[in-house]
Amino acid sequence: MSVTGTPMPPSWPAGYNENVLVLLVQGPGVVFAYLELSDHFWGALLRQGQPVVRLYDTTDAGVPPAQPVREVALPPYTADWYFRGLVAGRTYVAELGWRDPEGVFVSLLRSNPAATPAQRGEGGGARRKTVVAFPPAVPVWRRESEEEGPPEDLPSSYS
């Protein structure tokens, strides 16, 4: 039995026909929003109005407050978005929806909460002061010679 040609790697689907909005923390002040929306969902969203992603700080409330900290009008078929310049040490939630002609926001999807880490000190990390304790100086041991007596500066274990 002979095999001809080059084997093809398995093909991965472009999507899983799920409509999800996922937030991933990239750093103390950066959150990444990942969108996977079906073509049907995008079509319905675009027919309703302008697609919008809102980002809320939910650290103290636990639920999205009335005013978002960021709001982005998305180009059609956007798959991801970075939110930069956020406050470190806070928890964020995103909502995807549309803004109708009267300016009313209608939410369709909500993301998972994403907690950003606390900000480190300037220069990319907190500086630590390291103290190294050296042992006391060890006396130089010399070999006793006939001309010289035992060194005077060395302590004796015999009294």
**pLDDT number for residue 18:** 84
Look at the alpha carbons of 60, 62, 63, 64 in this order and tell me if their dihedral is positive or negative: positive
* Domain count of the fold of the chain: 1
98 assigned to some structural domain: yes
Compute, in degrees rounded to 10, the torsion defined by CA atoms 92, 98, 100, 105.
-20
Distance CA 145, CA 136 (A): 27
Distance in angstroms (rounded) separating the CA atoms of residues 147 and 126? 59
Tell me what pLDDT residue 84 has.
Answer: 97
Is residue 139 included in any domain, yes or no? no
Residue 133 domain flag: no
Residue at 31 is within a domain: yes
* pLDDT tens-place string over residues 17-43: 789 999 999 999 999 999 999 999 999
pTM of the model: 0.66
- Structural domain contains residue 138: no
Name the burial class of residue 150, with classes exposed (0-12), middle (13-18) and buried (19+) by CB atoms within 10 angstroms of its CB: exposed
Question: Is 135 a member of any domain?
Answer: no
Res 128: pLDDT:
55
The answer to whether residue 84 sits within a structural domain is yes
Domain of 69, CATH number, reads 2.60.40.10
Percent of the chain at pLDDT exceeding 70: 69
Euclidean distance between CA atoms 32 and 84, whole angstroms: 9
User: What is the extent of the structural domain holding 54?
Assistant: 20-115
Q: Does 37 map to a domain?
A: yes
Question: 26 near 83, Cβ under 8 Å?
Answer: no
pLDDT by position in tens, the chain (length 159): 555 667 777 777 766 778 999 999 999 999 999 999 999 999 999 999 999 999 999 998 767 677 899 999 999 999 999 999 999 999 999 999 999 888 899 999 999 999 999 987 644 555 555 565 656 665 555 555 555 555 556 565 665
Chain segment 79-92, per-residue pLDDT in tens? 999 999 999 999 99
